[in-house]
Amino acid sequence: MLLVADGLTKDYGRNRALDAVSLGIAPGEVVGLLGPNGSGKTTALRLFLGFLRPTRGTATLAGFDCWTQSVEARKRVTYLPGELRLYENMTGRQLVTFLGKLRGEVPGPEVDALAKRLDIDPDTPLTRMSSGMKRKVALLAVLVPNVPLVILDEPTNTLDPTMRDEFLEQLRLAKHAGKAVLFSSHVLHEVEAVCDRVAILRKGKLVHLHDMADLKEARRVSGTFAGPPPAVGPDGQPLPPMNGTLDLEYRGPLPALLEWLHRQPLSDVRVEPMGLRAIYRTYHGNG
């Protein structure tokens, strides 16, 4: 595992912001961190970056403790903060070069290539850029360094829809280049689009960790019975009592499901991909 959190806990006074979170991220894996405001997403990311000292537990990045060996850990990660503030007295290029020099690297022609894809002029002073443009510059600074892990806190804030798509494409490219990506977001379909796994936080606790491939195979089946409901489901497992309505999750081959539905006394039926929304709702209501 590239990034490992083991019982990671952070208290602010009496308030527990993160509660014994354990999570691992493999190289090249894209993991989405979901949860409403105050669920502990940003605290988790800040612990991984060594900004905060854990109250209990540890986080390691490539084997380096994120607090006690923070510099070694940060050599292997780039970070896009949620509340973006840049050095306004610089141009985009100056900022990327400055941050690159702090990493001991001088960014090359890839800056211009990526800037072109993101549709920004890196030589424009940041003071003259809109918040969306600044976010693109920050993305540039995050994506240019060759590091194994990219951490992004609500990265698509203030990006227009076209740039959101471009950003998601950049994440896919990063993944293909072998980079792991951990990002927090409120936008479920973005997470669905690029993530390999999704972690859902609730009141500081990791309440759900889901493999997206598994999620893509899952279907939600709903409908209304015109007769007595069956005792077993399409997978042969017993069904809970149903009051005339069908509502189940199904993971398995589609023909078996269709054959089972064909045998049921249904007046209507609806089969849809499971999607993140249903899972998210389970923990956070309407997400």
Q: Which parts of 110-129 interact with another protein (CB under 8 A)?
A: none
Q: Which stretch binds another protein (CB under 8 A): 86-94, 123-131, 187-195, 198-206?
A: 86-94
Q: Which parts of 136-155 interact with another protein (CB under 8 A)?
A: none
Q: Counting contacts by CB under 8 A, is residue 186 touching another protein?
A: no
CB neighbour burial string for 32-68, b if at least 16 within 10 angstroms, e if fewer:
bbbbeeebbbbbbbbbbbbbbebeebebbbbebebbe
Q: Which stretch binds another protein (CB under 8 A): 78-86, 181-189, 236-244, 273-281?
A: 78-86
Shortest distance, CB of residue 35 to another protein, whole angstroms? 16
Q: Counting contacts by CB under 8 A, is residue 91 touching another protein?
A: no
Using the rule CB under 8 A, which residue among 26, 53, 169, 189 binds another protein? 53
Closer Cβ to another protein, 14 or 85, answer by number? 85
Q: Which stretch binds another protein (CB under 8 A): 22-30, 45-53, 165-173, 218-226?
A: 45-53
Using the rule CB under 8 A, which residue among 42, 60, 156, 170 binds another protein? 42
Closer Cβ to another protein, 145 or 233, answer by number? 145
Q: What count of other Cβ atoms lies within 10 Å of the Cβ of residue 17? A: 21
Shortest distance, CB of residue 123 to another protein, whole angstroms? 17
* CA 5 – CA 21 distance, rounded (Å): 7
Q: What count of other Cβ atoms lies within 10 Å of the Cβ of residue 84? A: 17
* CA 78 – CA 96 distance, rounded (Å): 12
Is the distance from CB of 2 to CB of 149 less than 8 angstroms? yes
Closer Cβ to another protein, 94 or 264, answer by number? 94
Shortest distance, CB of residue 128 to another protein, whole angstroms? 18
CB neighbour burial string for 153-184, b if at least 16 within 10 angstroms, e if fewer:
bbbbbebeeebbebbbebbeebbeeebbbbbb
Q: Which stretch binds another protein (CB under 8 A): 44-52, 177-185, 214-222, 237-245?
A: 44-52
* CA 24 – CA 71 distance, rounded (Å): 20
Closest by Cα among 220, 162, 154, 160 to 191: 154
Residue 281's identity, in one-letter code, is R
Residue 90's identity, in one-letter code, is M
> Two tokens at 153?
């806190």
> Two tokens at 264?
């049921």
Q: Which stretch binds another protein (CB under 8 A): 73-81, 231-239, 241-249, 262-270?
A: 73-81
Q: Counting contacts by CB under 8 A, is residue 106 touching another protein?
A: no
Closer Cβ to another protein, 49 or 191, answer by number? 49
Which residue ranges make up the site for another protein (CB under 8 A)?
42, 46, 49-53, 71-72, 74-75, 77-79, 81, 83-87, 89, 98-99, 101-104
